[in-house]
Amino acid sequence: METQADISREIAELRGRGGPQPQLDYPPYRSSVLRHPTKDLVLADPEGVELWAPCFSSRDVAADEADLTIQRAGEPLGERMVVTGRVLDGQGNPVRHQLVEIWQANASGRYWHQRDQHPAPLDPNFVGAGRCLTDENGTYRFQTIKPGPYPWRNHLNAWRPAHIHFSLFGTDFTQRLVTQMYFPNDPLFDLDPIYQSITDPKAREALLASYDHELTTPEYSLGYRWDIVLTGTHRTPLEDQQ
Amino acid sequence: MTYAPGQTVGPFFHLGLPYAGDNELVPPGRPDAVRLHGRVLDGQGNGVPDAVIEIWQADPSGAVPRVGGSIKRDGWTFTGWGRAQTDPDGHYWFSTLEPPSFFAVTVFARGLLDRLFTRAYLPAEQLDAFLGGLPPERRDTLITTREQRGLRFDIRLQGEGETVFLTFPGQAT
Ligand SMILES: [Fe+2]
């Protein structure tokens, strides 16, 4: 099995090679080798249903689903925190009343998932999944705990930087995004082929939350802010009036 | 502005994405329900057991649904959106209604660093402008196969018969 030094060498060779999106063909992430398309994406004009995004409503999402610390009988272990920010389209307009879904490891870096074999403890009081709808300003807000970094089997002694998985919708179908939010100054960034598959450093920064003392609650919780800009919308104002 | 880049859905999405009834846009027993299904295959033709497929579609009259209720389905409202995970063979299925033209499809998987967009067209005599502009062997990857109770749509991520994946104007790659 390759070592971190082997993978780091491959990462270094590919640095700066691509654009602002992750490179789908990125061999340092070994699982991508047989799962990336080899032909160019075909440019299409969005048509019909693609000009719209699915709607979600308060019927779909209960308010308490945004608090990952109250889903079980007791208090989860770890560093309590709020994660909040705005979902914006490429023109800077808020994406209102839209679904945000998250999932994450617990404070020890262990997922509530059968396939996670990391011998770190499960926390009986932390499942690690939540949902909310953005408000009128495009703001989402979750109460959770800070996830731990965790090992994986891409290469010998591979570790993922701490992250929260985010699933987002915009105002049209083409804005659909699944990504990961990271924490500032993680020492594992340079070593991680998933994060480094975005070879443009400025684009990588768009996945970094920032610590915000304004979001903390005294003697209770820390806070991070992460704003998410989706690609532009394709609908004309006339279509919006339909 | 810097768009947020995508990242892989990873191996643990089952924790956050699936929910009861996610792939049943209409109850499977309904007389007009069709099964849209197929396999997600990798570059060696093996099933991808950890993929998520989402569909977004018009109703049979061509109208785009503008109602919530895709997560807590009431069994009556057609919301036009659904999500399915592949099984150990890489197979997925939806119970839904037939749109007039195509299903808009999004593909996520462990090993796939960003989501992919494609279209699953209904078989038709006339090709629309987009399909007509593709070389025939590539075009066929976007056309579902009619079966007795539904439509088959396999998704080949790589290699022979690789599915046509889409990008839209203004999207960074
Ligand atoms: Fe993860």
The tens digit of pLDDT for each residue in B18-45 reads: 999 999 999 998 999 999 999 999 999 9
Which residues in chain A touch residue B167, judged by CB atoms under 8 angstroms apart? 41-44
pLDDT tens column, B117-173: 999 999 998 889 999 999 999 999 999 999 998 999 999 999 999 999 999 998 866
Q: Contact B79/A55, CB-based, under 8 Å?
A: yes
A116 touches chain B (CB under 8 A): yes
Chain B residue with minimal CA distance to A165?
B9
Integer Cα distance of B10 and B85 in angstroms: 13
For chain A, positions 181-240, list CB contacts with chain B under 8 A: 194-195, 197-198, 202-207, 228-232, 234
ipTM topping 0.95: yes
Ligand 1 center to residue A117 CA distance, Å?
Answer: 13
| pLDDT at res. A204 | 97
- Sign of the four-CA dihedral A110, A149, A166, A8: negative
Q: Contact A103/B169, CB-based, under 8 Å?
A: no
Domain B13-156 is classified in which CATH homologous superfamily? Aromatic compound dioxygenase (2.60.130.10)
Q: How do strand A99-104 and strand A129-133 relate by DSSP bridges? A: antiparallel
Among B66, B108, B169, select the one facing A55 at the smallest CB separation.
Answer: B66
Residue tagged 């992750």 (tokens): A22
Mutation for B interface: A49, A58, A150, most B CBs within 10 A: A49
Among A24, A39, A53, select the one facing B114 at the smallest CB separation.
Answer: A24
pTM above 0.90, yes or no: yes
Q: Contact A21/B56, CB-based, under 8 Å?
A: no
Is pLDDT at A99 greater than 70 in this prediction? Answer: yes
Distance (Å) from the C-alpha of residue A147 to the closest C-alpha of chain B? 14
Q: Torsions phi, psi of A174, nearest 5?
A: -70, -5
Give the E-state strand segments of chain B in sequence order.
34-41, 51-56, 81-85, 91-96, 102-109, 116-121, 145-147, 150-152, 155-156, 166-167
Q: Contact B115/A176, CB-based, under 8 Å?
A: yes
Mutation for A interface: B7, B52, B61, B102, most A CBs within 10 A: B7
Residue B65 to residues A73, A108, B35, Cα–Cα distance (Å): 39, 42, 19
CATH code given to domain A4-18+54-112+121-229: 2.60.130.10
pLDDT tens column, A146-204: 999 999 999 999 999 999 999 999 999 999 999 999 999 999 999 999 999 999 999 99
Q: Contact B1/A228, CB-based, under 8 Å?
A: no
A160 noted as active-site residue: yes
Ligand 1 center to residue A149 CA distance, Å?
Answer: 9
Among B68, B104, B115, select the one facing A50 at the smallest CB separation.
Answer: B104
